[in-house]
Amino acid sequence: MKTLIALFIISIVHPVTNLTIIHQPNHALHAPPPGVPHAERPDRLNSIMSKLTSDDTDLAASGVTITTASNPLQRVEASINQTHASSYISLLRKTVGGLNSDTYVAPTSYRTMLTASSCWLSCMDIAAESKGPAFALTRPPGHHATKSSGMGFCLINFCALSALSYLSLSSSSRVGVLDIDVHFGNGSADILADVDRVRFASVHEKGIYPGSGEGEPEGSNIFKLSVESGCLGSEWLLGVEKCLDYVLADEPDLLIVSVGYDALTEDPLAGLNLKGEDYQQAMKMITKRFPKERTMLGLEGGYDLEATADAVLKTCEALI
Ligand SMILES: *[C@@H]1O[C@H](CO)[C@@H](O)[C@H](O)[C@H]1NC(C)=O
Ligand SMILES: *[C@@H]1O[C@H](CO)[C@@H](O)[C@H](O)[C@H]1NC(C)=O
Ligand SMILES: [Zn+2]
């Protein structure tokens, strides 16, 4: 009986926190020109969302909230202004076609950048209020976008935008960023380098895009770890652990995880050999060492539709 009462009291003091998924309903307005095949396409998010909302998945029954974001435009634009150079933002707003050969921009792309940024901001708010975990499901990825240029399919760096927005909430809070996309998040490293109260760590495949994954760290708060092409989940997880050691040593108040699913075996763009379970293990490792209420995740890459959707579901299951 005493135990029961104690349990009851604990559950009042620490309400069970549940996963909130925030998705971007207008993402398909960012699409490659008709008839031009591209790995970064609307079906990526469509297949994830249909997996998460299918009858046999039933995340809602586990208390997961799936919703959209609604931040004032003023706030979203201010956060974009804080993240990118104004010359780049105006270039992006007037570009139609592409920023370079792999990064397309549709006339309606900028609108989707506003909604994606808004999704990440809302997830950040949830984690900042200790009501996480929260997962932003948006596209395209953002971690290659530097302060002054879009590249590698990325236009706006949502991860850096969330970190900088969190830091503006208070002058003493600290944030850790963990990037587990298969590619080095060179844009996030570029924007966050030597920014006070942030640590950024990335585990990625050696020798692939963007080519700067093995170079000197961009700042004293940046940690890069590359794993050999072909490596299995067990070795990758050791890399995730080292990155986590680095980020958590700074005692952050908030953790942002840039999750890319392009380290899966099936992925057409990279050469690691991960399974969906490895992402689940990574999430378990993270939530064991850092309060999940104070954690947000956001989608970066992942280009095999089925394997990615399945691994996103496994990620969510680890967060319930
Ligand atoms: C963002 O920057 C642009 C260009 O510098 C400026 O015109 C705009 O008012 C800014 N928006 C906000 C919300 O800060
Ligand atoms: C990002 O990638 C580009 C293209 O490879 C490279 O020129 C740039 O130096 C990289 N930035 C960082 C911060 O690594
Ligand atoms: Zn990637």
Residues with CB under 6 A from ligand 1: 74, 77-78, 81, 86
Alpha-carbon distance of 159 to 72, in angstroms, equals 19
- Amino acid 168: pLDDT: 97
What is the residue with the minimal CA distance to atom 11 of ligand 2? 186
Distance 160 CA to ligand 3 centre (A): 16
- Amino acid 39: pLDDT: 98
Q: Is residue 8 part of a domain?
A: no
CA 157, distance to chain mean position in Å, is 10
Question: What secondary structure does DSSP assign to the chain, as a single string?
Answer: -HHHHHHHHHHHHSPPP--EEEE-TTGGGS-PPTT---SS-THHHHHHHHHHHSTTT-GGGGT-EEEE----HHHHHHHHHHHS-HHHHHHHHH--EEEETTEEE-TTHHHHHHHHHHHHHHHHHHHHTT---EEEE-SS--TT--SS--BTTBSS-HHHHHHHHHHHH-SS--EEEEE-SSS--HHHHHHHTT-TTEEEEEEEETT-TTS-TTS--SSTTEEEEEE-TT-BHHHHHHHHHHHHHHHHTT--SEEEEEE--TTBTT-TT---BB-HHHHHHHHHHHHHHS-GGGEEEEE-----HHHHHHHHHHHHHHH-
Distance 153 CA to ligand 2 centre (A): 14
Alpha-carbon distance of 60 to 105, in angstroms, equals 35
Token pair listed for 47: 């297949």
Give 183-218 as a 3 state SS string: CCCHHHHHHHCCCCCEEEEEEEECCCCCCCCCCCCC
253 Cβ inside 6 Å of ligand 2: no
150 Cβ inside 6 Å of ligand 2: no
Distance 262 CA to ligand 2 centre (A): 19
Token pair listed for 312: 């996103």
Domain that holds residue 304: 18-319
Alpha-carbon distance of 41 to 37, in angstroms, equals 8
Question: Are the C-beta atoms of residues 244 and 289 closer than 8 Å to each other?
Answer: yes
Pick from 253, 221, 226: nearest CA to 240? 226
Q: Is residue 175 part of a domain?
A: yes
Alpha-carbon distance of 256 to 254, in angstroms, equals 7
What is the residue with the minimal CA distance to atom 14 of ligand 2? 186
Question: Are the C-beta atoms of residues 190 and 147 closer than 8 Å to each other?
Answer: yes
How many Cβ atoms from other residues are within 10 Å of residue 269's Cβ? 18
Q: Is residue 213 part of a domain?
A: yes
Burial of 43 (0-12, 13-18, 19+ CB in 10 A): exposed
Q: 């999704």: which residue's tokens?
A: 119
Residue pLDDT, tens place only, 79-124: 999 999 999 999 999 999 999 989 999 999 999 999 999 999 999 9
CATH number at residue 234: 3.40.800.20
Q: Which atom of ligand 1 is nearest to the CA of 90?
A: 4
- Amino acid 107: pLDDT: 94
Q: Is residue 11 part of a domain?
A: no
What is the residue with the minimal CA distance to atom 1 of ligand 2? 186
Dihedral angle at the C-alpha atoms of 209, 182, 179, 155, nearest 10 degrees? 50
- Amino acid 7: pLDDT: 53
What is the residue with the minimal CA distance to atom 10 of ligand 2? 186
Question: Are the C-beta atoms of residues 16 and 317 closer than 8 Å to each other?
Answer: no
210 Cβ inside 6 Å of ligand 2: yes
CA 300, distance to chain mean position in Å, is 5
What is the residue with the minimal CA distance to atom 2 of ligand 2? 210
Question: Are the C-beta atoms of residues 283 and 315 closer than 8 Å to each other?
Answer: yes
- Amino acid 57: pLDDT: 85
Token pair listed for 260: 């890319």
Q: Is residue 6 part of a domain?
A: no
pTM (2 d.p.): 0.94
| Identity of the residue numbered 208 | I
| Ranges under pLDDT 50 in the chain | 15
The total number of structural domains that make up the chain: 1
Q: Is residue 27 part of a domain?
A: yes
